[in-house]
Each structure stands twice: as structure tokens, then as C-alpha cells.
Amino acid sequence: MPKIKNQAPAINELLQRGVAEVISRVSLEAKLKNGRPLRVKLGIDPTSPNLHLGRSIPLLKLRQFQQLGHQAIFIIGDATAEIGDASDKDSERPMLSPEQVRQNLKTYIEQAGKIIDIKKATILKNSKWLKNFGLTEIYKLAGASSVNDFLNRENVKKRMQAGKRVSVREMIYPLMQAYDSIQVKADVELGGTDQRFNLLTGRQLQPLYGQAPQDLLLTDLIEGTDGRKMSSSWGNTVDLTDSAQDMFGKIMSLRDELIMTYFIHCTTLPLDEVEQFNKQLKGGANPRDIKLELAKELVSFYHGAKAAGVEEQRFISQFSRHELPAEIPSYKLKKGQRLLEVLAAAKVVTSRSEAHRLLEQGALKIDQKKVSRDCDLRPGQVIQAGKRKFLKLQ
């Protein structure tokens, strides 16, 4: 990853592209122009096995800091994942077991390495210091924190007004995240807007340990494939671990109004080129054609240009010309098996209930004709589930 020589435009883009808020903009801009290498922290809790495009936004910011010559500190929150952060939730997040966390974080470094230069980054797990966290430290941090501030958080107020439980454990979480900043002596911390309170807590508590308050760069959140905030909990994600085919297909299924949001927040395409696509959309271009460019850009970044070209041709052939894929997995039909049972048995879907949902949504086809009920099958038929999954019966 080459360093940027002309830093002024790069600093401007760093502070503006996909950024919701900088605290403090004056302070951070001065530090960036000063040229002193900054310690830039991003922490992600392994609450699911896969990082997704929503998570890629602060990772892309960390990449930009690296390109400007600053030290990237990527913290895998294995200890804080057990506690559970309910910052963006309307209910208490359940605690994860140590084993669940270990399974989730297995490929986190590899996934982050798709975006940042892992070899030049500092990679840490916060269990290194939090597993031996003592009462003295808790007292010190808790004494400098306000219960009123916590209770005034928007989602906490809503839950309390609705009579929902808010646990003391949730109040401890921001203190633990703040202690991460103290441990690594962060100059800057990155995070989504849902992390604002937690990041501010780190900024507030660092002076207790003789450290200058970290500056904060808060990135926008994006919507997932179903229009809600992208979240592994809702299964509406485009994952960094998705195959080139799945990633391409998911992007092509996005709502048209999300095209520019994804270009700005999830790609490294220069903004002047992004603006050209925006002008084309406003000028009446077919959104599908611009979305095709978005899919190619993202698949190229994560899988390479060759894979993007293959998926572009596959999409044009399969969807624009309504042709079947060249290669379709087969399944040996057993006597008496019906549609929903076959979909589950062939693992086209995860369960019969998922197959039933697809049926209700009108997303199942046999020989390219939509079906509205469970039915008998015969060898030679081709089943289609959703837009991208096919099965040929033998």
C-alpha cells in the first residue's frame, strides 16, 4: 500500500468522505498537517464470524491514515464481545461465551487484511489487559463517569420509557472500550456514529492517566440489503468473506437509492469519478448500469479484476438475457420428495422454513416459471431459489 505524497487533498478526503462528525476537527486537522505519526485506533468486537461492508467504512479510514504515514492500531475486542455492546440495539445484547468469541474471531485479521496493511499495523486483542482488569481500575474509571450521561443516551432512554431492562453490565462496556484507548495511548479513535458515546468516554477518561484526549472520527452507517442498518444480527449484510458471485449478486439487488451511498462509503474510487456516476444517474441513466459499475468496483477490490469481469458476464448472461447459468449443481431426486424438502435437503436453503418464506415471497421457480405452492418434482427440472441459486434434478 503506497504512501500518499500529496497529502493536502488526501487529508481533506479523509476528514470528509463518509464522515459524520470529527471531534475535534480543528485539533485533528492540525495534527495531520503537523506530520507527526499518530496512533490511530479502531476496535471491532467479534460478535459474528464475518466483517461486512458496514464495518469496512472505518477500516477504509484506517487504511487512509496508514497511507498518510500514521500507525494503525486494530483491536479485536474479544473481552468486550463477551460483555456485549448495546449501543445500536433496542434491547440488551446477550453475553457471548469465550468459545463463541474464539470461533467468531478466527479469520478477523485475514478479513481486515483485505483493506488495511496488516504487516504495518499493530494488531491486539483487548483480553490482553481486560482479563486481568482489577477493581482499583474499575473504581478509577467509574468514579470519573456519570450515570446521568449513560441514561441520557437516546436508545437507553427509549428502552427505559418502554419499560425494558437496562443492565449495569451495559454501563460498564463504555469504560472497557475507553480503557482500550488508554492502553494503546490512542491519538485518534475511529468508529460509526452508533459508537459516539463509547468513543467520547475514552476521550473523557484518558486525562486520568496523563494522556491527551483522543480525537474522534465518526463514520456514517449504511443500510443493508433489506433497507435497515447493515447488521449481522439481521442477516442483511454484504460480507467481506462472500464469494465474488454472492457479493456481485447482493450489490445488484440493492435499492437504487443506495448506489451513491455505497460508492462514497464502501469504495476507494476517486470522488471525481464517483461524481460522474452521480451525474449520469441524475441525467436519466439506467440505475442498473451504474449499479453494475458499483458491483464491479467492489468485487475487484475484494476478489480482483478478473473475478469481477467473470461475474459481470455471468450477470448479463443470466439476468439481462434470462439465461440459465452454465454450471448448475445437481441433486438426485428421491421418490416422494417435494419442492420444499428438496431445497432443504440439497442445502439450497438453510431450512424448510426458509424455503417456505421464499415460496410465500414468490421467489421460487421451476423451469423459469414461478411457483406458488409446494409441489411434486421430476428429474430434469431446474429449480431457482431467489435470484442466484439454482438446482438441477436428476
Residue ranges per domain, the chain? 7-221, 244-320, 330-393
Picking from 364, 267, 200, the residue whose alpha carbon sits closest to that of residue 57 is 267
- Specify the DSSP element, H or E, that contains 392: strand 389-393
- Of the chain, the end-to-end C-alpha distance in Å amounts to 49
Which bin fits 84, alpha (ψ -120 to 50), beta or left (φ > 0)? left
Q: What is the CATH number of domain 244-320?
A: 1.10.240.10
Q: What does the pLDDT profile of the chain (394 residues) look like in tens digits?
A: 666 666 889 999 999 999 999 999 999 999 998 889 999 999 999 999 999 999 999 999 999 999 999 999 999 999 999 887 766 656 666 778 899 999 999 999 999 999 999 999 999 999 999 988 888 888 888 887 877 777 777 777 787 887 777 777 788 888 999 999 999 999 999 999 999 999 999 999 999 999 999 999 999 999 998 888 998 888 889 999 999 999 999 999 899 999 999 999 999 999 999 999 999 999 999 999 999 999 999 999 999 999 999 999 888 877 666 666 767 888 888 888 899 999 988 888 888 888 888 888 888 888 778 888 898 888 878 888 887 788 888 7
pTM of the model: 0.80
Picking from 63, 98, 59, 106, the residue whose alpha carbon sits closest to that of residue 81 is 98
Asked if CATH classification 3.40.1440.60 holds for the domain at 330-393, the reply, yes or no, is: no
Which residues, at least 6 apart from 339, have a Cβ–Cβ distance to it below 8 Å? 355, 359, 364, 366, 371, 374, 375, 376, 377, 383
d(CA 206, CA 186): 9
Distance of CA 8 to the CA centre of its chain: 28
Q: What is the CATH number of domain 7-221?
A: 3.40.50.620
Contact (Cβ atoms closer than 8 angstroms) between residue 27 and residue 216: no
The count of other CB atoms within 10 Å of the CB of residue 105 is 20
Q: Are strands 39-44 and 71-76 parallel, antiparallel or unpaired?
A: parallel
In this prediction, residue 239 carries a pLDDT of: 96
DSSP 93: P
Rg (CA), the chain: 24
Angstrom CA distances, 365 to 15, 316, 323, 355, stand at 48, 19, 14, 12
d(CA 219, CA 19): 4
Strand partners, 218: 21, 191
The count of other CB atoms within 10 Å of the CB of residue 67 is 17
In this prediction, residue 323 carries a pLDDT of: 64
Angstrom CA distances, 384 to 52, 315, 344, 348, 359, stand at 26, 15, 13, 9, 11
Angstrom CA distances, 364 to 205, 339, 356, 380, 382, stand at 55, 9, 9, 17, 11
Q: C-alpha grid cell for residue 309?
A: 469481469
d(CA 298, CA 334): 40
